[in-house]
Every structure is written in C-alpha cells, then in structure tokens.
Chain A
Amino acid sequence: MIKKGDAILIGIILLIIAMGFAGFHFWQSVKENNDLIAVITQNDKVIERIDLNKVEEPRNITLSGDHHNYIRVEKGRIRYEDTDCPNRICVNTGWLTKYGDIAACLPNKTIITIEKQ
C-alpha cells in the first residue's frame, strides 16, 4: 500500500521540518539580546514601534480597519487581547515575549512582530 516513493517523500518532509525548527532556534539564539521592540503594522504601514522593556504602565491599543483589534501592551510582552474578526487566530496566538515572535490578523491586515532596534 505504501510505496518506496512515499517513504522518501515523508522522510524529506520530516527533514525539512526538523531543519526549519532548528533554523528558527538557531536564528533566535544568535540574535538574542535584551532588546524587545514590538512593531505593529497595518496595511504595510508601521503604526507603532514599542520598546517593550521600557513599558512602565500597561496600556491598550485599538486598531480599526475592516475589523477592530484590541492590543494589550505590558512590560516585556504584547498580545492581541480581543478582536471582532471572524476566526480570532490573532487572539489565540497569545503573548509575544521574545525576538522573532509573530502574531497576525489577516482579516484586519495587521501584524505584530518582535524585532531588535
């Protein structure tokens, strides 16, 4: 039922997956430093850059567009707290806390990435 080509195919896919995970870990560990800059982008335009380490008072940001995203910013972390888009994937992604983390809301064309400088 399973042919030789299938086994090779699955092997290659698993290899790519393993390399992908290893690559991301490597990339995160190499670029590791204490900077945590959250970049909020909507429709390709940077709305706000926040140095998460310098956030003293937690605050909320609302992004309006086709839908509304309610973003929560605290010291060292940021997340989509609530949204009125249909699938709520952005909210389910949870907190972004380290370099390379990413959360996106495609219906509202917004994305939050954690960068350095």
Chain B
Amino acid sequence: MSTKKLALIAILVAQATVLHYIESLLPNPIPIPGVKLGLANIITLLALVMFDFKTSLTVISLRTVLGSLLSGTLFGVGFLLSFSGALLAGCVMALLLLLSPYFSLIGISIAGAVAHCVGQLIMASLILSQPGIFYYLPVMLLLSVPTGCITGLLLWELVKYLRSTKQI
C-alpha cells in the first residue's frame, strides 16, 4: 500500500467519522428509528469510487467504531444498528458499482440508502427477536429515496470536482 493511499484512506475515515458524528447531533424530525440523511454513506461510496471494496470496508468499520466512540454508544445498540446498516449499504453499492454502465452515482446512492434501512431493521429484529419491526420498512424505504438522492447529488458534485482537478 502506497503512502499516498494510506494518507487518503485516513482522510476518508476522518471525514466519515465527522459526518457520522454530526449526523447523530441533528434532531430527528420523524419519530421513526434510523431515519437520517446518511451523510457518512457519501464517503463509503467515495471510497468505492476511488479505491475498492476492501478499502471501503475499512472505512466503514473504522468510522462506525470511531463515530460511536465519539457519541458514547460504542458496542451498544446504536453502534450495532449503524454498523449493520453501513455494511449492507457498502456491499450493495459495491455490487451496483460493478454494473456502473447501467447506474449513475445517484442511483447507487439511493440503493445504498435503501440497503442501510434494511440492514438496520434486520439487526433491530435480531436484537428484539421481533420480526414485526419490519412494520417500519415501507415508511423508511419511502424516506430513503429522497435522502439517497440528496447524498448522491452531493457525491456527484464531489466526484466531478475531484476529477476536474485530476485528484482521482
């Protein structure tokens, strides 16, 4: 691994951790667990675009651990929820990125947001041993389309800028 790549991964982890933490400070306007913008997902997808799946997994693991360390929920329920959501989102987005001739970054980002919801609900139903929690799924999916769109647009602009300045 080159020193430059190592440094870039460290920057990605730092950015993702900060976004993860900032997001946990934002008030949740909707009384449904796990509904948030998913800003840290931008960095997961950026790591996939810049590097590969393995790097992205590194970023996901480090940012969920560091992010929940900051917000004081390490290895608690919140940590398990965001880790399982981020992991499934990373896997789905990596898969769709392989089919990138057919999908734009916005579509991949929406799929990531949807996968994040599903991953969280799977973990929540395991914690509570209560599959009824999937009652929330339709509402969460409905909200994940606009949130995925927003994060996808942000990433779109970011990648456009990085490419125009020859940084990736």
Interface residues, chain A, with chain B CB atoms under 8 Å away: 1-6, 9-10, 13-14, 16-17, 20-21, 24, 41, 44, 87, 89, 92-94, 100, 102, 104, 106-107, 109, 111, 113
B124, CB-defined interface residue at 8 Å: yes
Are B145 and A13 in contact (CB-based, < 8 A)? Answer: yes
Give the complex CA separation of A111 and B127 in angstroms.
11
Are A17 and B138 in contact (CB-based, < 8 A)? Answer: yes
Q: Across the interface, name the chain B residue whose C-beta is closest to A18.
A: B138
Q: A6-B106, A106-B127 are in contact. Are A20 and B31 (CB under 8 A)?
A: no
In-complex Cβ contact of B135 among A24, A44, A89 (8 A): A24
Q: Across the interface, name the chain A residue whose C-beta is closest to B72.
A: A86
Point out which of A2, A104, A106, A109 has the most chain B C-beta atoms below 10 A from its C-beta: A106
Known: A10-B145, A13-B110, A24-B138. 5 other contacts (CB 8 A): A1-B156, A9-B111, A41-B128, A100-B135, A111-B128
B129, CB-defined interface residue at 8 Å: yes
Are B103 and A6 in contact (CB-based, < 8 A)? Answer: yes
B61, CB-defined interface residue at 8 Å: no
Q: Hey, which chain A residues are within 8 Å of B127, CB to CB?
A: 106, 109
The 7 closest A-B pairs by CB, nearest first: A6-B107, A92-B31, A20-B138, A5-B102, A5-B103, A106-B77, A3-B104
Point out which of A2, A6, A89 has the most chain B C-beta atoms below 10 A from its C-beta: A6
Q: Across the interface, name the chain B residue whose C-beta is closest to A91.
A: B31
Q: What are 22 residue pairs bridging A and B, where the CB atoms are less than 8 Å apart in the complex? A: A1-B156, A2-B104, A3-B103, A3-B104, A5-B99, A5-B102, A5-B103, A5-B104, A5-B107, A6-B103, A6-B106, A9-B110, A10-B107, A17-B138, A41-B128, A41-B130, A44-B128, A89-B28, A104-B128, A107-B77, A109-B127, A113-B132
Q: Across the interface, name the chain A residue whose C-beta is closest to B137.
A: A20
